[in-house]
A and B are shown apart, each in its own frame.
Chain A
């Protein structure tokens, strides 16, 4: 879908890519890079965590700087392009020196210092964003100017028709710590709700991986969401979805090899492995956990049913316990197959995000998007609700 959007966009595009934790975002991003490179695109990749401290709030000024800096580094490292012998970091330092931003107070020696300090020193980040708060327009113009120069340099090297993609990964990892989670979350929300246009880069197709909860707080903004592999349909009986099951069988087969699969599960391997696949909820990481736990508990080959059940119990225990209140809410999701978000209140969004991040709630899609409770805990949820005699939350 991302690839389609990039290919369909005539000259540039801004793409927000999100997936819940463990859904395989980075793997997908690398696959995207490979496919685009094969189609002749120039693809640059940067990991936000090399520039940003994920435990700290983020301001637009710092992000603009980091974007240009990361692009500059990728240009140098991946394509050996050095713009007039000057990295973005040096250019930034010169620009700061030419403005009224007091770089003495920022105690900088070289452009490289800025890169290092941005990642490691909270007080520096704060001082820099304060100093630039009244000059976002100018900073943006500078940053865009740098991207333009970079784009022209790429075209000079790779041809006048070269199309450029910039993948900016791991931005979704900004989530703060226990003490400042709300503040950091709020800073990310403000960043994308107020400054989305500033994140458009002329002539470049940019892909940002963003926190999944942005989908709930910015409902009008187009995002590409990486859903779980769907192994059942959105009907009352949860009819098995064959293509999804096949995809996960294929993944399982590649992990074990055809021969290994037969040795481990027996002559008809999927008659037994399918139980693990179905219980994974279509979530790669959970499927790998289930397989790994089964391997660890296998004393003989083929593995015994008892070992498989113990592995399932072990992985299920990672989701437990579930409180009465959460169980009632989850039971309602199970019944409605919807997010149940009634407001955009931070607490409500935070609860849904927490469950999506821990895969207790799964985001699925076939034509339309829907939600369901993870098959590993579905029975447990209904059991808690039934035992308490309470009706599901409505």
Chain B
């Protein structure tokens, strides 16, 4: 085993902290009290988790001069032929347990192959329950992903009926870092091609001052705002929508006022002026309601949920999403409903309730798929990857990010693509592969530069600083500072400067 791998597993073992795990203790207790054959099923997120458990059990057994005897499972056929292998096996001298492990998460591409292998292997083994019991006087431990339990129950009922213990071992979820201002942005990207803002401004200026053209000027300013937003020029976006809204407030119909308010609210959220964003969105919601526009009302409520969430007010966010969801449903807007469900997933992540988060993102994923919203689908897969990442299930995380990346590339969403690359980089960094992490971050940096997303550029430099040293590291810190300064994010710069030596441990949202 390479040093890198060994370091990673050590660090992972500390995440699992098996000594204090309530799920791990019954297994150890069994070894302390039990004698002779036992059939134990251990459910872990992936092979890394299995390896952490094997190492821990081996270390425990070695205290009494025993060890874990592994049955190598290198290819699916090894599992299919498991009955023959086990029936011919003579345990080694000093073996304290027979270990059969292959934990393949559902998310990874070759999952189906391994599922079939387990299914076939245990189905064949089922009839040999009694010979197995008489053959071994030490525990036989099957280690697999959580779905192994169902496979055993359905395909090897006799074997399953004699199981002594089935334990689910997971790494405790890692809470959100305190400084979670530094998270990847996952708002749906503005259309790749918005209106030409300069043309709209030119036309608006041509009409300014002419009587009776105020609403036309407002419409052109609104259009300019959409164009600036599509080009990530957020301060210009805010300015254009603000002026459009001022004019419309005095003269236009509720729906037009609401539309400019809604867009301004979203733009303000982009520039982190969250309190003002909430106030403007609340006004837009009231205008939409006055106009009887249910979809507009729902959209504002959903955005109000997003803003409340970013303000750290999970309860309000939950309420807003809860109010918006039925409105979207009544209006037949599955995509809006999916956005709300996804928002509820974000809240669950914030409270480190990863199981709820996973269920919400799964639900959102299905809704996005129903509507054919590829970006929503990619965002959900990415969020599912984040949940797995928090639970130290890096294999699942990598697989989910991979699925998301493919979709982002398909629809040409460079922000999504870059975010995926950052997330890959994060996994590589955690696994100790600094060089690969740098490669991923640099690739992401190129993409963020193409869309002039200074926030994310700063964020990638900050991450690059974590995997580099000396002058290179200083250069990345300076670059992060410059990027954030260009968008007036003094708060982030201060955060960076407060911790010059140990940059914040950030992780994807």
Contacts and interface: CB of A to CB of B under 8 A. Distances in A.
Q: Do A and B bind each other?
A: yes
B213 interface: yes
Contacts of B230: 141
Interface string B169-204: 000000000000000000000011111100110010
Contact of A11 (B196, B216, B371, B372): B216
A11 B412 contact: no
Interface in B387-421: 410-412
B410 A134 contact: no
B373 interface: yes
B223 interface: yes
Q: How large is the interface on B (under 10, 10 to 19, 20 to 34, 35 or more residues)?
A: 20 to 34
Interface string A182-212: 0000000000000000000011000000000
B374 interface: yes
Contact of A99 (B210, B213, B371, B412): B412
A144 interface: yes
Contacts of A142: 193
A134 B195 contact: no
Given A134-B373, A134-B374, A152-B199, A10 B213 contact: yes
A11 B404 CA distance: 42
Query: Chain A interface residue count: which class?
Result: 20 to 34
Contact of A141 (B191, B199, B374, B410): B191
A321 interface: no
A144 B195 contact: yes
A106 B210 CA distance: 49
A9 B219 CA distance: 12
Interface string B207-226: 10010110010011001000
Given A10-B213, A11-B220, A148-B196, A100 B411 contact: yes
Contacts of B212: 10
Contacts of B191: 137-138, 141
A147 to B, nearest CB: 10
Nearest to B217: A10
Nearest to A155: B199
Contact of B203 (A11, A99, A134, A141): A11
B210 A10 contact: yes
B193 A10 contact: no
Contact of B412 (A12, A98, A202): A98
A11 B374 contact: no
Contacts of B195: 141, 144-145, 148, 202
A111 to B, nearest CB: 18
A133 interface: yes
A10 B212 CA distance: 9
Nearest to A130: B372
Contacts of B219: 11
B199 A148 contact: yes
A134 B207 CA distance: 36
A135 B193 CA distance: 13
Contacts of A134: 371-374
A141 B223 contact: no
Nearest to B377: A134
A99 B412 CA distance: 7
Interface string A126-151: 00000001110110011011001001
Contacts of A203: 199, 203
B112 to A, nearest CB: 24
Contacts of A137: 191
Given A10-B210, A152-B199, A100 B374 contact: yes
Which residue among B193, B200, B216, B410 has the maximum number of chain A CB atoms within 10 Å of its CB? B193
A135 B375 CA distance: 10
Interface string A82-101: 00000000000000001110
A135 to B, nearest CB: 8
A152 B51 CA distance: 64
A144 B194 CA distance: 8
Contact of B193 (A9, A12, A145, A202): A145
Given A10-B210, A11-B220, A148-B199, A100 B192 contact: no
Contacts of B371: 134
A99 B195 CA distance: 19
B372 A138 contact: no
B338 to A, nearest CB: 12
Contacts of A202: 195, 200, 223
Interface string A147-172: 01001100000000000000000000
Contacts of A148: 195-196, 199
B345 to A, nearest CB: 21
A203 B203 CA distance: 9
A43 to B, nearest CB: 19
Contacts of A10: 207, 210, 212-213, 216
B196 A141 contact: no
A100 B196 contact: no
B372 A141 contact: no
A141 B411 CA distance: 14
Interface string A302-338: 0000000000000000000000000000000000000
Given A100-B411, A152-B199, A202-B223, A11 B207 contact: yes
Interface string A26-37: 000000000000
Nearest to A149: B196
Contact of B192 (A133, A141, A152): A141
Contacts of B196: 145, 148, 152
B216 A141 contact: no
A202 B192 CA distance: 18
B416 to A, nearest CB: 13
B207 A141 contact: no
A357 B199 CA distance: 43
Contacts of B223: 202
A255 to B, nearest CB: 43
B383 to A, nearest CB: 19
Contacts of A138: 191-193
Nearest to B206: A11
Contact of B411 (A99, A133, A145): A99
18 contacts: A9-B216, A11-B207, A11-B213, A11-B216, A99-B410, A99-B412, A100-B374, A134-B371, A141-B191, A141-B195, A144-B195, A145-B193, A148-B195, A148-B196, A152-B196, A152-B199, A202-B195, A203-B203
Interface of A: 9-12, 98-100, 133-135, 137-138, 141-142, 144-145, 148, 151-152, 202-203
Given A11-B207, A145-B193, 8 more contacts: A10-B207, A100-B411, A134-B374, A135-B411, A137-B191, A141-B193, A152-B196, A202-B200
Q: Which 8 residue pairs of A and B lie closest in terms of their CB atoms, listed nearest first?
A: A134-B372, A100-B410, A10-B216, A141-B191, A10-B213, A141-B193, A145-B193, A11-B216
